[in-house]
Chains A and B, each alone.
Chain A
Amino acid sequence: MSKFQFPESIASRPTYGSLKSRPGKAHLMIADAEGAEAILDLAAQDAGLMAKSHVIYIPSGSGAGLSERLRGLKPAQYYEGPSYAAAVPRIRRVLSDAHMGLQVYLCGTEGLMGQAMNEATAAGIPHSAIQTEHRGSIARRMQCVHCKGITENVTTDPFVCAHCGLNLFVRDHYSRRLAAFQGVCIDAEDPGNVPNPVELYK
């Protein structure tokens, strides 16, 4: 099991729960990588659930064997894609056809959950009614507050902005709209004085 307990932080930092089967005619599950494990656990709670479920899965390279097991749950619809971006048109389509009562379950990395959460809230579901469960990598999706570029999969603090090259400090300050944490220049006062990057949560 790849569950990580994030330490308590500021209110801005999202927190995640564990998925519970809820009543509803239709269920949408969006997962990446080890997020598949959370769907497997969820399916084990409720035998009738998967027959009403649409699963959208992005293996991201670390889904070894997990795709097979997800398919084995026999969801009503199953989609697997190479990246989150590739899955977005499908997610939008499913949400635009959906009705009240749809249950949304997001699981896997923070970047996936945050972005999929945005799609679901834009479709009219209150964020507090969307379930999430973190699994797998603790890598973050970061926005450079200076150039506004997004750097995916950040695992160290500080890190170098993939767009403008500034050395950025990893903050817990989160933007739901951007589905990203904020990265702030760490050596603005004293250019070049950059602490050695350390792995997040190590």
Chain B
Amino acid sequence: MTAAPQNTKAGAEKIAVTVSAVVPLNDLVTRFEFTRPDGAAFPPFSAGAHTVVEMRDQGRTRLNPYSLMSDPSDPSIYAISVRRDDQGRGGSLFMHRNVKVGDAMTLTYPVNLFSLDLRGRKHVFLAGGIGITPFMAMIAQLEQSNGNWELHYACRSEALGTYADQLRSHYPNKVHVYFDDQNQAIGLEDLLDGQPLGTHVYVCGPKGMIDWVHTTAAEHGWPSENVHSEEFLAPQPGKPFEVRLCKSDITIQVGEHESLLEAMERCGVDAPFLCRGGACGQCETDVVEADGEFVHRDHWLDDDDHACGKKIMPCVSRFVGKTLVLDR
């Protein structure tokens, strides 16, 4: 595994924004659009990038990553679409309940961990549910360059098919939608079969779908370089634990419902991060001493790293045991 990116600032540069539109799309999903109060152009982004949204929720700061789904060629707005997760940690509920047009908010500069491979001859997008969002930007980007793409989009029902109608009417020959409640499913094997050389597949959706696509493609002889996926992990609750941060010279408590990264931030420690979902590698932290078990949940470290107990990704991983000392 390559070393973590060198920039160890906490998070990407920030951008002050104003909420310019709140557009409910269906029972669960709402689109939020942002403009800059100074009217300046947004930094350009490539399709597949995400931004981390800072939410001030009654004294608590929530930082959630969302894929940018607006057209990358339009520098006047950024847009995200947020699915309300009633069982989640509260970030999406905050967005749905508290965020109003005109609110001032803070986003980070976009970071792309799920970019198009523009060497590809053809791009096949596989979306599950809210996993449609990065593909909205990818489709816009490819349409600009007359790129060869098709979308296969699985949603629960017509009523929850976020953007399904819009996509189908714009691109009737390229968009295929499958509704779970009508027992429709993506025919992955047939889909992989017969694609021209140089085709890339991109999948964004639940973990089971991502694993299914990787496994099936490998069985069909697809090079792993041609199969791309993005899954942000949300930090999972766990037993509270204590951590000593030796550089900062403090000992902190990580609560049941916060991540180690969040606990560090709460205590004023400037810890690096970009994705907050175990994917980017930015938060990688050296372990100085540990007596107990790590609960590694990231996609960044490899199995050997996980086994040796010398590193931890504080955005999603936890610890159960007596002593944990980190080099932070």
Give chain A nearest CB distance to B2 CB in angstroms: 15
**Interface 0/1 of B115-149, CB less than 8 Å to A:** 00001110000000000000000000000000000
Contact partner of A124 (CB less than 8 A), chosen from B194, B196, B221, B224, is B196
Q: Are A23 and B223 in contact (CB under 8 A)?
A: no
Q: Are B225 and A99 in contact (CB under 8 A)?
A: no
Q: Are A23 and B221 in contact (CB under 8 A)?
A: yes
Q: Find residues 106-132 in chain A having any chain B CB closer than 8 Å to their own CB.
A: 123-126, 128-129
Measured in the bound complex, the distance between the Cα atoms of B197 and A101 in whole Å is 8
Closest residue of chain B to A130, judged by CB? B223
Residues of the B chain whose Cβ atoms lie less than 8 Å from the Cβ of A165: none
Q: Are A126 and B226 in contact (CB under 8 A)?
A: yes
Contact partner of A24 (CB less than 8 A), chosen from B120, B196, B199, B220, is B220
Q: Are A123 and B197 in contact (CB under 8 A)?
A: yes
Answer yes or no: A103 CB below 8 A from chain B CBs: yes
Answer yes or no: A95 CB below 8 A from chain B CBs: yes
Measured in the bound complex, the distance between the Cα atoms of B197 and A98 in whole Å is 6
Measured in the bound complex, the distance between the Cα atoms of B221 and A102 in whole Å is 7
Q: Are B198 and A101 in contact (CB under 8 A)?
A: no
Residues of the A chain whose Cβ atoms lie less than 8 Å from the Cβ of B120: 124
Give the number of chain A interface residues (Cβ < 8 Å).
Answer: 17
Q: Are B223 and A102 in contact (CB under 8 A)?
A: no
Measured in the bound complex, the distance between the Cα atoms of B93 and A64 in whole Å is 74
Contact partner of B225 (CB less than 8 A), chosen from A25, A101, A123, A126, is A126
Give chain B nearest CB distance to A187 CB in angstroms: 41
**Interface 0/1 of A22-33, CB less than 8 Å to B:** 111100000000
Give chain A nearest CB distance to B47 CB in angstroms: 20
Contact partner of B193 (CB less than 8 A), chosen from A95, A101, A126, is A101
Closest residue of chain A to B196, judged by CB? A99
Q: Are A99 and B195 in contact (CB under 8 A)?
A: yes
With A24-B220, A126-B226 as given contacts, are A99 and B121 in contact (CB-CB < 8 Å)? no
With A100-B226, A101-B193, A126-B226 as given contacts, are A25 and B221 in contact (CB-CB < 8 Å)? yes
Closest residue of chain B to A27, judged by CB? B221
Measured in the bound complex, the distance between the Cα atoms of B199 and A124 in whole Å is 8
Residues of the B chain whose Cβ atoms lie less than 8 Å from the Cβ of A129: 223-226
Measured in the bound complex, the distance between the Cα atoms of B220 and A24 in whole Å is 5
With A100-B196, A101-B192, A125-B198 as given contacts, are A22 and B121 in contact (CB-CB < 8 Å)? no
17 A-B contacts, Cβ less than 8 Å apart?
A23-B220, A25-B220, A95-B197, A99-B193, A99-B194, A100-B192, A100-B198, A100-B221, A101-B222, A102-B221, A103-B221, A124-B119, A124-B196, A124-B198, A125-B197, A125-B198, A128-B225
